[in-house]
Amino acid sequence: MKNKRRIILASSSPRRKELLENTGLCFEVDAASCSENLSSGLEPHKLATKISLEKAQSVCGKYSDAIIIGADTIGVLDGRIIGKPGTAEEARKMLKSIGGKCHLVITGYSIIDTASGKTVSATVETRVYIKELTPGEIDAYVKTGEPLDKAGAYAIQGLGALFVKKIEGDYFNVVGLPVHALMNALKEFGIKVL
């Protein structure tokens, strides 16, 4: 849907882009340029919010009259943040640690109106229950390459779905963008899809 305001998604994530496209919203992508420091010592919800805000702020200076959306997704297991594995070995360790357990997926999102300065930030949390994983399943999955650059080392919308026993909460949040919450928040900025 065409809104009167220019909307910018400050993300290089193809999954976020696709989820937002599925709403019918007219927007542009301008990849955020900020570091995702997961070792700041902040509580996970605050950290996800902080990084989402930094992502949105990193592109704000380019637009004088636009709505900027930033988002960041992190996993939390036993109170400890699990980020994205950088190597196959890190992916194996991560998958071994989440196997047979429940972990949280938290997405922070921030919306900034560059004309008024109005800013809204929030988080959405989903519980994900992973089945017991055998070493063979972990190795086969890591060989696909899918776990790399994914929070928690799996993609729920891909082959990683084979490991998910159940979820409690927003599925799209686990993919990387809590569509329902985000669309409701955008209404505060005069942006409507339907």
- pLDDT of amino acid 29: 97
- pLDDT of amino acid 41: 80
Q: What is the mean pLDDT of residues 131-148?
A: 97
- 145 within some domain: yes
Total number of domains constituting the chain: 1
* pLDDT digit string, tens, across residues 175-190: 999 999 999 999 999 9
- 97 within some domain: yes
Q: What percent of the chain has pLDDT over 70?
A: 95
Q: Is 149 a catalytic residue?
A: no
| Per-residue pLDDT at 135 exceeds 60 | yes
* Active-site residue, selected from the candidate residues 30, 65, 72, 149: 72
Q: What is the mean pLDDT of residues 123-130?
A: 98
- 112 within some domain: yes
- 119 within some domain: yes
- 193 within some domain: no
Cα-based distances in Å from 148 to 86, 98, 113: 6, 15, 33
* pLDDT digit string, tens, across residues 146-176: 999 888 999 999 999 999 999 999 999 999 9
What CATH code is carried by the domain that includes residue 33?
A: 3.90.950.10
| Per-residue pLDDT at 1 exceeds 60 | no
* pLDDT digit string, tens, across residues 59-107: 999 999 999 999 999 999 999 999 889 899 999 999 999 999 999 999 9
- 194 within some domain: no
- 192 within some domain: no
* pLDDT digit string, tens, across residues 13-53: 999 999 999 999 999 999 988 766 666 788 999 999 999 99
Count how many Cα atoms sit within 13 Å of the Cα of residue 164 in the half-sphere of its side chain.
22
Q: Are 13 and 30 in contact (CB under 8 A)?
A: no
pTM, two decimal places? 0.92
Give the C-alpha separation, 83 to 75, whole Å: 6
- 35 within some domain: yes
- pLDDT of amino acid 53: 96
Report the chain's mean pLDDT, rounded to a whole number. Answer: 93
Give the C-alpha separation, 27 to 9, whole Å: 7
Q: Name the nearest CA neighbour of 83 among 147, 18, 160.
A: 147
Q: Which domain holds residue 176?
A: 6-187
